[in-house]
A and B are shown apart, each in its own frame.
Chain A
């Protein structure tokens, strides 16, 4: 218990005095996750909407595959990315290994299945007459897609929030692909692991608390974005 109180106290102190290491790690974490989730949304949302509405043989199989992808182990993704990004790897010349960009790519792989699966489910559960009516009103396929997204807005925002939560707390990819390099690829999660490894349990807890605070701010932002839906 003592460790927990100590950790909370340190969390507040570290933020108040603006510890550069922690603020740097927090900024990097938010920046990397936001970039990864934004890209994943751009890629995954159209796929999710399309999968919810398209009828082709094997549709359900693709959906199931994406749902299974939500459980992708981060260490697995990290190792795959490492084997691609290493100098000997196919993507070696891009020099993504031990760079923030490499972490973004890895987290993108983590986030896309989440966005696809949850947005697919959200759009699927819409009243089917939404699409029918839109079509009778002469809406183009793109316009119809936008209508689905806006009708299933809460579900879509939840998809984005879930993906963000997964990326922000993710450890395996940041550790293997990022390398936990000080001031360069050290995220809050790897910093927490580092401090705990050094036996600085309270400091590790403090960083975990800051991570939680970021998640809270993110979910507040999502609430603010979808406020229109709440009466």
Chain B
């Protein structure tokens, strides 16, 4: 008798005489043909798994994937420093130049988690990251005062920009930010806010407070998204929007909005770096975190920050170079 699985492999039409005996043969008369197979599977000669040509294929597939998995990234040998930062910091592209020298010098890997400033501080508070690199001075001070952070350093400045359509329907060109917001609110012009507790959002709310106007008209919208997406939304709506300079430089060619408000101290955007309380983050992370902060304010790193250009424009002003200030 031909072993059952040979027959199957050749996809021969079902035959009843596969060791199932007379019962299977009878069964096939009563039941539909599709059903014969299950009966045949019961037969003592057809070892279930071998009888299917599907299973070898599944096995082959899993094996080849397992093989591929051996080549999957494996970084577990290096010590890791976890850094929480803002999406705007990451999207600026600066970290890709700033981190590699530190990583190769100390033989560590820096894992960057980019979220809003509010969430970044929360991650620090929970001890999920060792260093926080954000831009919201008041929240940072509160973070340190609450004992979540043990060391805070100023790193660099950039600026916020209040963008709007070239036609500038609210007529805010050249005004300082609070006055500009007051005019936008008075005319109820469209305005897109991040609304996500990010550093930019916190600053926007501070500016509203300073302007004494309330952002509560229907055309004031909260995107709840990152800076880039928010810029795209504002652009499509021909709305006013507050952005950090780095993201705007990235988007300059893709949107029609232009900076309108005058650059005054209210629009200064200062970045700080904080070492999270090592009690929350045991092990070697604390020593590495201090080393990283030392590096970021060292002349070498500060020079990298000073030299960083986006589309030909300087983005950040370092605060620890002899020439700065």
Residues of A whose CB lies within 8 Å of any CB of B are 24, 27-28, 30-31, 34-35, 38, 86-88, 97-98, 100, 127, 129-130, 133-134, 137-139, 143, 146-147, 150-151, 153, 179-184, 194, 196-199, 201, 221, 224-226, 228
Question: Which of A129, A134, A137, A228 lies in contact with B53, CB distance below 8 A?
Answer: A228
Query: Does B42 lie within 8 Å of A139, measured CB to CB?
Result: yes
Chosen A-B contacts, 26 in total, with CB atoms closer than 8 Å, are: A27-B68, A27-B71, A27-B73, A28-B72, A86-B126, A87-B280, A127-B31, A129-B31, A129-B35, A130-B38, A133-B38, A134-B42, A137-B42, A143-B42, A146-B41, A153-B54, A179-B111, A180-B114, A181-B113, A183-B73, A183-B75, A196-B228, A196-B229, A199-B254, A228-B53, A228-B54
Query: Does B54 lie within 8 Å of A24, measured CB to CB?
Result: no
Contacts of B52 in A (CB 8 A): 150, 228
Contact with A along B241-256 (1 / 0, CB 8 A): 0000000001100100
Contacts of A133 in B (CB 8 A): 27, 31, 35, 38-39, 42
Question: With A38-B62, A196-B228, A197-B226 known to touch, is A130 a contact of B73 (CB < 8 Å)?
Answer: no
Contacts of A34 in B (CB 8 A): 65
A199 to B247, CA, bound (A): 9
Contact with A along B50-77 (1 / 0, CB 8 A): 0011100110011001001101110100
Report the nearest A residue to B251, measured CB to CB.
Answer: A199
A147 to B41, CA, bound (A): 7
A28 to B74, CA, bound (A): 11
A183 to B72, CA, bound (A): 10
Query: Does B128 lie within 8 Å of A147, measured CB to CB?
Result: no
Query: Does A134 lie within 8 Å of B126, measured CB to CB?
Result: no
Report the nearest B residue to A181, measured CB to CB.
Answer: B111
Query: Does B126 lie within 8 Å of A198, measured CB to CB?
Result: no
A138 to B44, CA, bound (A): 11
B37, CB-defined interface residue at 8 Å: yes
The secondary-structure label for the interface of chain A is: helix
Query: Does A184 lie within 8 Å of B228, measured CB to CB?
Result: no
17 additional A-B residue pairs with CB within 8 Å, beyond A31-B72, A86-B128, A137-B23:
A24-B73, A31-B65, A31-B69, A34-B65, A86-B127, A87-B280, A88-B126, A97-B128, A98-B128, A134-B42, A143-B42, A143-B48, A150-B38, A183-B75, A196-B228, A224-B57, A225-B57
A38 to B113, CA, bound (A): 28
Contacts of A28 in B (CB 8 A): 72-73
Question: Which of B27, B65, B112 lies in contact with A181, CB distance below 8 A?
Answer: B112
Contacts of B91 in A (CB 8 A): 194, 197-198
Q: Which 9 A-B pairs have the closest CB atoms?
A: A179-B113, A137-B42, A87-B127, A197-B228, A181-B111, A198-B91, A199-B251, A197-B226, A86-B126
Which of B27, B75, B113, B280 has the largest number of chain A CB atoms within 10 A?
Answer: B113
Query: Does A27 lie within 8 Å of B72, measured CB to CB?
Result: yes
A183 to B76, CA, bound (A): 12
A113 to B173, CA, bound (A): 56
Contacts of A228 in B (CB 8 A): 11, 52-54
Say how far A64's CB is from chain B's closest CB, in angstroms. Answer: 29
Question: With A24-B73, A198-B250 known to touch, is A151 a contact of B113 (CB < 8 Å)?
Answer: no
B202, CB-defined interface residue at 8 Å: no
Contact with A along B87-112 (1 / 0, CB 8 A): 10001010000000000000001011
Q: B94-153: which residues lie under 8 A (CB-CB) from chain A?
A: 109, 111-114, 126-128
Contacts of B93 in A (CB 8 A): 198
Query: Does A98 lie within 8 Å of B35, measured CB to CB?
Result: no
Query: Does B229 lie within 8 Å of A197, measured CB to CB?
Result: yes
Question: With A98-B128, A179-B111, A197-B228 known to touch, is A134 a contact of B251 (CB < 8 Å)?
Answer: no
Contacts of B41 in A (CB 8 A): 146-147, 150
Say how far B81's CB is from chain A's closest CB, in angstroms. Answer: 12
Query: Does B112 lie within 8 Å of A199, measured CB to CB?
Result: no
B82, CB-defined interface residue at 8 Å: yes
Query: Does B75 lie within 8 Å of A184, measured CB to CB?
Result: yes
Contacts of A150 in B (CB 8 A): 37-38, 41, 48, 52, 54
B158, CB-defined interface residue at 8 Å: no
A28 to B82, CA, bound (A): 20
A27 to B306, CA, bound (A): 36
Query: Does A225 lie within 8 Å of B61, measured CB to CB?
Result: yes
Report the nearest A residue to B91, measured CB to CB.
Answer: A198
Q: B26-40: which residues lie under 8 A (CB-CB) from chain A?
A: 27, 31-32, 35, 37-39
